[in-house]
Structure 1
């Protein structure tokens, strides 16, 4: 029976719109501005980087939505890659998500949560790593108690994540504190190459925009995917872009750019300027709840990646990784994810980890955008409830954006790119071993 026929089409436009916004907005919006301002050197190029990142994300979302509507299967991007390129590339995506994408998100956000908590409480930075480990562990323990608890906690934190954003934007825009924000001409700071600054800045913003790929996973359950899916993506991602532009404008208005550069406490410092010390602390607590919820979202989703791969017997120790606890949670898979995240907490910092995960995942994102064009030519008869708007312009914009992100990272952060590629390519011998050990056929590759 076709999987599309089994899906109940009961999701309307507003539910789809909230899904778009809820999956994309996380902790990155609060903590990437210090990086963007530092690498661009100017407020104009900072805001242009956020705008360009939003436009690329909109093009990417509209492009991927065509695949989501045509291939509405559990697994999302893994299934699109598998359908277009075969099992080995789809395994490599799953491997990259398992050993880089989700653990790096968990560890990076745990580090930034701990940094903010230390700043709020006035503690010594020596507690940073132990606190980050406890944060990651606590979220995993919540999820080990069952999806009911992990999902419930996610709903709670999703509501709270929008509160500090709304407060900072509304009060910050009308606050008399701060100074002017030069917007034109768009140029890099002193001694900074424009394209290099833009490449670094764009890479940083893409972490904040990340999460949009999950949008299309509900395509098979929309009442009217042809109409509602593109509208939800356009209005949702456009709304997120506007929110990000406004909140970054407020940061730049509230603090001198020299005080923002490299300052991981920018959001908290800006909140103090806008609301005063007590109000700033309350907003910071809201930010902490938002970040904690983002960690939960990545933990809850990520632990199911090694579990799904183990069910296909494409990993060593697949039997153990596919076992469920009495709460219906793949405990071994969750512990593997936590172990990798622990290693990353010790070895990396917030920006290194997030830059690496964005670089690696955008390789596969770009392959996904290209898959839209490939399948149009290879399988013209494939049922497409929704087709990418302004085709082929939209997928070309998404592909060019992806190529720019990947290539600029290779040239400007070569060691980071090589590390990400090296860890990803380690999946090939792992896959070969598992395929041989578990007697997996090569026919479908």
Structure 2
């Protein structure tokens, strides 16, 4: 579906452009505003916090338990930890490096992505080759049973695992999807910099397909390796949710923890560089349309929207202080999936609204697959509001706050006001 949209509108801005063209400028603005306030900036913050969490495995003094500042009541104080400060420093450093031109950012991205891929493939291969005492058969014996852990469960022989079904099962699936949606969300970031890609009508769609395929293969292979190396309880209750470290310790003994910590530091460093590099192009495009801060439409001597990068840096740094890693994921995932559903819905609108536009790519299995996706996305959003009302509600509130902000911005540029 994104291949069709990117081939129709091969210019910087990505999803912002697709929503603006399919619906109206306000819908595009709502996405761009949400992208600025939640989606991209909170993702940058969450990845920076993840970098800090794994750095703290090697350097405990920069961990979340090292509280540098505590303000407010002893029951619920506002705290700033060393991990949050390290995350902010990472964001500032990568933002600065990207203000020096796209070549430097591309070099960092290529280097760290290559290191990440080599490390991941190495971990997966060694996991299957070196571990003899594996849990493959035991895990798959009950692998398709839907269960939830309840310490006081009377069933399951005292194991704490209890069968679930119906809406409880759907809710559990929705909750478990939060992490996977977040981990794969940057798959479409190449569309944000389409204006800087050679032959974008061909290469953007190809990049989306190959990138998604490669990442899917890696993620599925890594999870199969976890099922081979660790028991289900070891996966479900890995210390601080560090499943990769638990697996690496089983593969490489104590040295494994250090290996995987370094791998994830490399991975999150490179990931955040890509997020920072791509994100500012959306604000740049919005500013060109008169719907964002005017200075974000300016390029510096390196042909980079420097002001857009720094304003993104400021918001992402503030979000590093806003809450835990899990809370950021809940907030991001709701807003991301909401706009994905709207964007996929835009294909139906554009097929009727702009049938004349060239479409080098067309959505696969249209209209069945897009409809299925939209339905599943709506179900996910509904259950996330039910299960995580606070942070999903904050995410929705930020989106709706964009409505008055749009009219405020558009009042200075009457051509963007629509009924």
Same fold (TM > 0.5):
yes
In the alignment, is the contact (CA less than 8 A) between 1:273 and 1:280 conserved in 2?
Answer: no
The equivalent of 2:120 in structure 1 is: 165
Structure 1 residue 243, shift from structure 2 partner: 2.2
The unaligned stretches of length 5 or more in structure 2 are 67-81, 149-160
Asked if 1:88 is matched to 2:26, the reply is yes
Tell me the distance in 2 between the aligned counterparts of 1:346 and 1:443. 35
Structure 1 pair 144/230, CA: closer, same or farther in 2 (3 Å)?
closer
Tell me the distance in 2 between the aligned counterparts of 1:146 and 1:230. 25
Tell me the distance in 1 between the aligned counterparts of 2:334 and 2:348. 22
Structure 1 residue 304, shift from structure 2 partner: 2.7
Tell me the distance in 2 between the aligned counterparts of 1:154 and 1:236. 14
Asked if 1:415 is matched to 2:410, the reply is no
Structure 1 pair 187/411, CA: closer, same or farther in 2 (3 Å)?
same
The equivalent of 2:248 in structure 1 is: 271
The equivalent of 2:101 in structure 1 is: 146
Q: How many residues align?
A: 378
Deviations 1:28-72 (A, max 9, x none): xxxxxxxxxxxxxxxxxxxxxxxxxxxxxxxxxxx2212222232
Residue correspondence of structure 1 range 99-178 to structure 2 within 5 A:
99-123=37-61, 124=63, 125-126=65-66, 127-174=82-129, 175-178=131-134
64, 67, 70: which one aligns with 2:5: 67
2:299 counterpart SS class: coil
Tell me the distance in 1 between the aligned counterparts of 2:190 and 2:372. 19
Structure 1 residue 168, shift from structure 2 partner: 1.5
Structure 1 pair 173/138, CA: closer, same or farther in 2 (3 Å)?
same
Structure 1 pair 308/378, CA: closer, same or farther in 2 (3 Å)?
closer
Query: CA-atom RMSD, angstroms?
Result: 2.7
Structure 1 residue 381, shift from structure 2 partner: 3.2
Structure 1 residue 205, shift from structure 2 partner: 1.1
In the alignment, is the contact (CA less than 8 A) between 2:187 and 2:211 conserved in 1?
Answer: no
Asked if 1:179 is matched to 2:135, the reply is yes
In the alignment, is the contact (CA less than 8 A) between 1:133 and 1:342 conserved in 2?
Answer: yes
Residue correspondence of structure 1 range 396-415 to structure 2 within 5 A:
396-415=371-390
- The alignment's TM-score, normalised by the length of structure 2, stands at 0.82
258, 269, 279: which one aligns with 1:302: 279
Tell me the distance in 1 between the aligned counterparts of 2:33 and 2:299. 20
In the alignment, is the contact (CA less than 8 A) between 1:203 and 1:405 conserved in 2?
Answer: no
Tell me the distance in 1 between the aligned counterparts of 2:229 and 2:48. 26
Tell me the distance in 1 between the aligned counterparts of 2:416 and 2:40. 28
Tell me the distance in 2 between the aligned counterparts of 1:78 and 1:229. 16
Asked if 1:440 is matched to 2:414, the reply is yes
147, 153, 160: which one aligns with 1:188: 147
Structure 1 residue 149, shift from structure 2 partner: 1.6
- The alignment's TM-score, normalised by the length of structure 1, stands at 0.77
Structure 1 residue 97, shift from structure 2 partner: 0.8
The equivalent of 2:306 in structure 1 is: 331
The equivalent of 1:373 in structure 2 is: 348
Structure 1 residue 231, shift from structure 2 partner: 7.5
Structure 1 residue 274, shift from structure 2 partner: 0.8
Tell me the distance in 2 between the aligned counterparts of 1:129 and 1:78. 30
Tell me the distance in 2 between the aligned counterparts of 1:331 and 1:442. 25
Structure 1 residue 187, shift from structure 2 partner: 1.2
The unaligned stretches of length 5 or more in structure 1 are 1-62
